[in-house]
Structure 1
Amino acid sequence: MLLQRDIIHFKKAKEPKRLSKRIGGPFAFLHDLRTQKVAKGTRARVVFAQGEHVILFRMSESSTKLWQADQDFLRQLESKGIIETEPYRSDGMKPQTQYTDVQIARRDEAWKLIEPLIRSAPRIYNKRFRVDAIRSQASKARVELIRSGKADRRKEKKGLAEGSAERRIQNLLRRYWCRGMTPDALIPDYEEVGGRGQRKNYRGSKEKRPVGEGRQVCRITPEIEGVFKKMTDRYYKGKDRVSLKFCSDQARGYLATAQLNKDAGLELRTGEEDWTDKVAVPSYRQFLYWYNNSGRSADDEKERLGPSGYDMAKRARFGSSLSRLFGVGSRFEIDATVLDVGCVSLIDRESYVGRPTLYLVIDVYSRMIVGMYLGFENASWHTFGIALRNVAEDKVKFCSRYGLDIEPEEWPVRDVMPARILADRGEGEGYKASDLVAKTGVIIENTAGYRGDMKGTVEKRFDIINNLLRPILPGAVAFDHMKRGDDDYRRKAKFNIDEVTRAVIRAILYYNNHHVLSGFKQPKEMVAAKIPAVPKAMWNWARSNGQSELKGFSLTELDFALLQTGHATPEKKGLRFQGMHYRSAELYEGGYAHKTGAANKQVVSWDLSNTSVIWRHRQDGSRERCELLEDYAAYKDLSFSEAHKLRLEQNSRKVKAEIASSVAFHELVEETRADLDDAEFENPQKLRASAISSAASNRKTELDIERMQEQLRRELRARNFDRAPGTTPAKDDRTNPLNATS
């Protein structure tokens, strides 16, 4: 079954077929692929799928051609060899660090322009609706542009009269459908155009409009902003519900008083002139502008209303009820907790390690557990990525790593990603999450702080898994483990991390395939089809009936989207990254070995959990695999944090060994000097010339003495051996040194 983003390649030309009657269906407003003539080499992308019906877009940025087709007809074409399905294209996908600020800004601007149209699928594929929607969006864009003051009215009106805005939106839609249906598809193609500088900010005219005859204009300075903050902190944050106008009046009075005291204010106030014209204070409008741009309104509301009141009246609301979901893949929930089971060491079962961290990824519509992670890494973006990667991973291979043989039907989740992911504000927020959204098109939603009930689906799965494992695994946390006199649950631990992981996988398989969800309210279509409230049954039913928002994503694409990005320094030995060297055959075979140093740094992607390989980014967007050199075999297959810790330990041992070596060498030198002092005491003069000439005879004498000493040592060892218990000398052998007598 074809999924959204799949690409179809016509290996042969397809001739049109004349139909006796018009074919209906949910997309009857489009031409049927059966009646269309398609040339050889044409490529089309599945831009929308609903059950057995799909919408195809001919991949061209110069024209918009959409067809409707059904899955059976496409399977017939594939069996005849007319079409083939291409793998998901990832060429051109680059890390955010390789895009300029201008490119990212243009991408965000373009995405903001067409996002309402994309969200209106499948109506956007109807030409009549699309034309009206494009005109409406162009009109809104024109109004917003003119109101913002960033465009000349005459030029803007002239451009819109010629239809330039409509053409731009149409071209952006084609580019979005043609280049992968992700926000990064809207990145401009130019990379070497223009200078590499910062965009100039328009500061406006230096001249200010008059505010009254003789009246001074107050320009907002950091000192005035400090007064604004001081008065707002003092009055607005309290429970008295003081208004912003009151805070503004206090700030204006404070500033006016300070100016009067500085300029002999008493004389000014008692003089005949209107002293208020001599004082420059900010207006209430200026105060409101500062407050609205200070980013403190949410914090102030929490202080004024209290945590409970804020969550009730002002908190952000993310609808996650079942009634708002289209089907499987509409929303995944992901969260982490500490498992209620302790583990022992993989190396020594007598060493207690602790309780591991469990990540679960849940499909909200079917309650299917689609991914997991269990390990000793704390909850972070790294472990978030491992759990998300497990969603697209082949579950048969994943389970086989832990000694479990399953059939693909037992865990039918692989090579897919959802439309949305609901996560905590911790690991699911930040530039890494934004980078993932840009690369995959998956929307990441965040819950409010301390609002675990907003992810009730995944929270309940933790409770179910712990309840399944707690009675059967040793070392589980008891409900009353803190009670005085009870046994320490940690002393009962028997399983290592691999064995606990195997038990968790078995629990997940049981839950997905056999656990009946009590109290789960199924949709009416599912009830009519008599589908049991079992996660796998509901998952399979929803996919077979087209109630799915799953996106096709290969494991390779997802791996690259989740990798960290950094810089490696070329050196003679290889690419140096995080204190280790990696082999880049392509870089050095191309004559790059002499271009070393920080000025020639290379952009690389790397996996936090494995030091064995990194990927160097080429200029065209592709990447080269660079493996760790053999000199660093001790760090292979470790995580980067483990390798860093190991290097620190080695450096510490090296420093200690060097200190001990220095002390030993100093003692050697001192003992040798002591022997030299004794020798000089016996013969303080230099050797005579005759002693040098008789060196050969002296050497022979020394050799005879050395041999005699060695003979005496052998005889002494023989006598000691003869006296040892259990030995008898040979009496008939008089030449045997064992029979020698004193």
Structure 2
Amino acid sequence: MQVLLKNDIFNGNDGCQYRVVKTSSPTSGWVVNLSKAHSWPVERDFGVLRSHSQFDAKSTTCSKSPDFAFYSENARNRANAAYEAIKPLLLNADGSENADILDGTKRNRLVRARAEELGISKTTIYKYLNKWWSQGQSKYVLIPGSARNGLNQTSGTSGRGRTPEYGRYNVFQMGTEDIKRAKDFIEKRYIKKEHASLKGVHIDLIAKHYSFRDGNGDLVKRPEGEHPSIHQFRHILKTCFTPEDVKRGKKGDKNFDRENKPMTGSSLEEAVAPGHIYEIDATVFDIFLVAEANRHCIIGKPTLYLIHDRKTRLIVGFYLGLENASWTGAMLAILSIAEDKHALCEKYGHPYDPAHWPANGIFPAKFLGDRGEMASRNSDRICDGMEAIISNTQSLLPIGKGVVEAGFHAAHCAIKDLAPGYEPPMEAVKRRGTKYHLDAALTVEECTSLILGQVIKHNTTVMKNYPLSPAQVLSGWNAIPIQLWKKEVEHNGCAGANYTYDYLHLQLLPRTTDAPKSKKAKVTQQGIEFENCVYKSVDDDPTVRQWMVNAGLGKAPEVHCSYDLRLVDYIIVHSKGRTFKCKLAKDSARFSGYSFAEVEYVLAEEKRAEKLLEDGANQAEMNRRQRAEAIVTRAKAATKQARTGGARSARKADTAAERNAEKSRRRRAETTLPPTSSELKPVRNVITLHPSDHVGVGAHQQPRTLVEAAAERPRSPIDNLLRRKAQEKTHELTHL
């Protein structure tokens, strides 16, 4: 049988409910009957009052109630005064429980003496003792009832509400059903709709539940006092829903978490050492750029990628280019981790110091992205080749990678005062805003130089609000990224791994093994076909040549290739652990300099044009067949008429003689001599040109003949090509 403790509530065999006031032994103690009013403690045997099946231990009343500290000071003072009044009756001088107060024969004497001592009524003392024993033996139960009004009240507004001015109507008293309707409308029509107004939802509630149709079928709302007022409706909103419920419902969980969620924890909690976590992200850089070939032309805004080490805030890689946020841009940013920093600084005009790049070539144990390019199929190359982990934060939650987000802010702040063409984010949506794009003057290369300067400055200067530990501060550490990296590596080691640029480049390029089924490389007699282009080995490798021979014999090997989405000129072919660099064959050289997406678009346009001309080609074929059928019909009729009645097999009897005779007739008909120069006459059908075409032509000039016009016409590119080919042929014959 369950052991009962102080304040436990159980159901007795007599159908009454009891609370344990004090236990004398595991099987007996003092209890108070809660089912009877003004019941006092009595000592009983627990086994007599209850059975095993009837035990139902419950939490005490005070544990379910609000904390004592949440009541007003006045209410708490009154409860403390009540407790001080009965405390000498409950406890002895040494702090032990006074058993005499539980004994009914001694209780009256003790209460009368305490009442005379305090100068209050003994009824008041009895009231305090009854509350103490029956409601849970806690100061909370001694709080005056008025202080608890509204905390545990039943639903509805029965008998409450301010009287309307001038007594125009009686206050509508909301019951349980009315509150349920109001809560349902608020939840479904106000909270879950971003632009819904409370007044509009209140009108919908009245139209739905507090209106009727008149004789004309029109909907008429009930008069005031017969439906909840807007004040009552607003009261239900405030008491049944928290501000977070309303805000989260209207904005959505993700937007609420991004803008209003409390900031807890730190990004340093997960990072254990330098090189453990690199945060990577991209943003549209708020500056308009110009074309390098023609600075008058504006080419729009570039995309900026940044890679930060979470532990030390060090910028380990970046990329600025015209590629949209995609795997291509992410790949180039990751490649910058191992890029030759000396060549990089020299290219963009910055002094090179090896100390500025302590993480050069160090690949992290984990990349943290935002469900963009780092969640693509191509990102598997990081896991397979470098044994790193890719993790993605919740979408629309930039605080999950706050280090790199702060890096974007710092980059914008570094250039906004100096760079022409910078457009503040708010200006992009402002009406009649300043046309910042007309001030654009920087090229991609020049803007990259500005970003590189900001990267060096960030890595070599102290950061504000970086949480250095007291031991680090006392040891002389400074919150400078390159110093933090160096000291953290000395004390905690580095979680990253070192890779060369060439290895990273080969590993990060997309491969056909990772691509959808449509992207496959195929060996043919013409070369290696991939994405509508044909490739051949750069150095005419005999292995690739043998593949092409085998393809003609129906034994083409299976190959895969790595490719750069930005350029179709080269691919890297993989087969049995070997790699071969291949370039566009002459048949596909027309696409040189194009991206794979552009080639696909050009071919689609070419196919579309063919489809548009298909009807004309079909019409021409139909016309040709009609004319051919007419000729054939006439020929059949003439042949049938020419028959002499002989057998069909006799038609070939005189084939040789008739062939020679036909040949002679055609020679006489087709053979003519060209006219001599004296026989040539001026062409009379000369077309007179428009007067505007005679600019600079004298009146004495005579019209040209067709031969003269043909001799003087300008040469076309085809003429020049044929002439050059003929000269090359003549040159070859001369040297034989």
TM range (shorter): 0.3 to 0.5
TM-score, length of structure 2 as denominator length: 0.46
TM-score, normalised to structure 1's length? 0.46
Identify the structure with bigger relative contact order (alpha carbons < 8 Å, sequence gap 6+): 1
Which structure has the larger Rg over C-alpha atoms? 2
